[in-house]
Structure 1
Amino acid sequence: MSISPFLRSPFTDLTGGIHSHQMLGRCQKEEGRYMDCLEAYGLERGKIKCSHLFGDFHECQTSMKQYKRFMAMRRERDRQIAEGKLKGDNQYVTPKVDSF
């Protein structure tokens, strides 16, 4: 994981924002918290001390937990359909609006 450029120049300072989520990115808060933590502890210690913040930032980028939860719910619904518990119109009923 490389965070800082190998060779620093005015060009790397100018184009550094391209690779971040700070310009209207949906993960800008998570990235900001992670970068603040890395700045406080330094790069080597920060990788260990800030790993929980990196996990949050990575989840925001990839949405893997959300995808896995969706797939688990889909597998359960398909299992119930295969067993005959859900039949007819009840197979693909959408949840109620306030059921979250």
Structure 2
Amino acid sequence: MVSHQLLGRCQTQEARYMDCLEAYGLERGKVKCRNLFEDYQECHTLTKQFKRFMAMRAERKRQIADGKLKGDAKYVTPRIDSY
């Protein structure tokens, strides 16, 4: 069994999900706590973040291929507050 309660970045999401499961029970909790589980799963696996990164990379490659980005503008880092 894996737990993120000790020095884990997902400890808040896991605690909320476990509290919800405790309140509704396992079978009803799977339905009622689905959104909390999805938040916890995303924190644990970072799949949406990776897909967003790959989409941004593909868009940059497309713009370079189309000639919209040239020279040093190809690899300009985003502004600090843009994330």
Regarding TM over 0.5, the answer is yes
Could you state the TM-score of these two structures normalised by the residue count of structure 1? Answer: 0.80
Q: Which residue of 1 aligns with 2:3?
A: 20
Query: What runs of 5+ residues in structure 2 fail to find an aligned partner?
Result: none
Give the match's secondary structure for 1:20.
coil
> Which of the pair has more CA radius of gyration?
1
Percentage of matched positions with identical amino acids: 71
Q: CA RMSD in A?
A: 1.0
Q: Which structure 1 residue ranges, 4+ long, deviate > 4 Å from structure 2?
A: none
Considering fraction of residues, name the structure with more helix: 2
Could you state the TM-score of these two structures normalised by the residue count of structure 2? Answer: 0.95
Whose relative contact order is higher, 1 or 2, with alpha carbons under 8 Å and at least 6 apart? 2
Show CA shifts across 1:50-98 (max 9, x none): 0000000000000111111110000000000001110000001001212
Q: Given the alignment, which residue of 38, 52, 63 partners 2:35?
A: 52
Query: What runs of 5+ residues in structure 1 fail to find an aligned partner?
Result: 1-17
